[in-house]
Amino acid sequence: MQQRIPTRPKALLMLGLAPLLSLMVAACESDLDFIAPDPDVFVVQAFLFADEPVTAVTVTGVLPIDADSTEVTPVISDASITLIRDGVRFELVATSGEPGHYNYPGSDLLIGLGDVFQLEAIVDGKMATAETVVPLPPVGLALSDDSLEAPVFQPGGGGRGGGGGGILAAGITAKWSNASRQLHFMVIDNLEVSPEILPTTEIFSRFAARIVQQPTAADSSVVRILTLTHYGQHRLKLYRVNDEYADLYEGLEQDSRDLNEPPSNIHGALGVFSAFSADSAFFRVH
């Protein structure tokens, strides 16, 4: 399953896996006289996850900030993408049915802790390069409970668990060691083959089946019952963010009146190449 990387809602969409909706390549003046982007500029977004297959790599073109809202960011499906570790080259291929996406099809590439990877991306003869290090996993992950009771709504309103306030407060707290205040984020998935839907899902249908929380420098986070969608076993995966991604993420917060070129650690193009490692804990909703 392709990973989804959390981003700041206010930020330019540089660190997500969704297509880049708008990208500024020059600062704007007060009269909003925008400069058109270089047509040769392309955007690489590549993310490696320890002990997981390489699937989260995309290459796109760019759109100017004043592009029509109906315009779609052009995808690039004929790029040459290579990962390099200790001099060994791993050639990625285009992902079938997903234009602009790339993956490594072999079974001989294991993303290990502490590994240093270089990336080469070639589009129309123009090469971009980047480097990343796979960080150590989170330390001390523990849950406040191994189960969570879903609310049962009674006829005429109200629900088990102390009424609406009790339902809203129900949740499991994940804690971990984070004395140095490094960024972490959580991903929660239901592991059941045919899970039964929660009654709250029918009421609060805006919540997605997979929960991806925003990165935090804290040492804990709460999973609320109202954000879950199904009964059964769940996996909470806590990812530690490496330093380069943290720097890029923190640098994305900017005033809407100061539209500077977004952060990038790709040389010769725009985008981000980063790596993550994780630890897992499990809980059941019943």
CA distances for 90 relative to 103, 109, 167, 184, angstroms: 10, 8, 49, 28
**pLDDT exceeds 80 at position 246:** no
The pairing of strands 126-133 and 116-123 is antiparallel
H-run or E-run covering 203: helix 199-203
Instruction: Write down the pLDDT at residue 256.
Output: 40
Would you say residue 252 has pLDDT above 70?
no
pLDDT tens for 256-276 read 444 455 567 899 999 899 999
- Encoding tokens for residue 128? 């971009």
How far apart (Å, rounded) are the C-alpha atoms in residues 167 and 226?
Answer: 8
Q: What is the pLDDT of residues 158-208, one digit of tens each?
A: 554 444 455 657 899 999 999 999 989 999 999 998 888 887 665 554 555
Mean pLDDT over 120-144 rounds to 95
* Burial (0-12, 13-18, 19+ Cβ within 10 Å), 101: buried
Out of 33-37, 67-71, 262-266, the most confident range is 262-266
What is the reported pTM? 0.74
Compare 205 and 280 and report the one with higher pLDDT.
280
DSSP 153: B
Contact call for residues 117 and 84 (beta carbons, < 8 A): yes
Residues 6+ apart with CB under 8 A from 236: 143, 172, 174, 186, 187, 188, 223, 280, 281, 282, 283
DSSP letters along 94-114, please?
EPTTSTTEEE---S-----TT
Per-residue pLDDT at 242: 82
Indicate whether 24 pLDDT > 50: no
Mean pLDDT of 37-51: 85
255 confidence band (pLDDT: 50, 70, 90) = very low
Please say if the pLDDT value at position 66 is more than 90.
no
- The residue among 278 and 157 whose pLDDT is bigger is 278
Confidence band for 27, pLDDT divided at 50, 70 and 90: very low
Cα–Cα nearest to 8, from 246, 244, 271: 246
> Exposed, middle or buried: residue 189 (CB in 10 Å: 0-12, 13-18, 19+)?
middle
DSSP 35: P
Q: What is the pLDDT of residue 214?
A: 86
Averaged pLDDT score across all residues of the chain: 78
Has residue 76 got a pLDDT over 70? yes
Q: Where is average pLDDT lowest: 16-30, 81-95, 126-140?
A: 16-30
Q: What is the pLDDT of residue 117?
A: 97
The burial class, CB within 10 Å (0-12 / 13-18 / 19+), for 183 is: buried
Element spanning 46, H or E: strand 43-49
Distance from C-alpha of 78 to C-alpha of 59, rounded to nearest angstrom: 9
**What is the full DSSP assignment across 207-270?**
S-SSEEPPPBSSSEEEEEGGG--BSEEEEEEEEEEPHHHHHHHHHT---TT--PPPP---BTSE
Structure tokens at 264: 């990038």
Name the helix (H) or strand (E) containing 19: none
Res 16 pLDDT > 90 = no
Q: Could you read off the pLDDT of 81-129 as tens digits, one per residue?
A: 999 999 999 999 999 999 999 999 999 999 999 999 999 999 999 999 9
C-alpha 40/C-alpha 124 separation (Å) is: 9
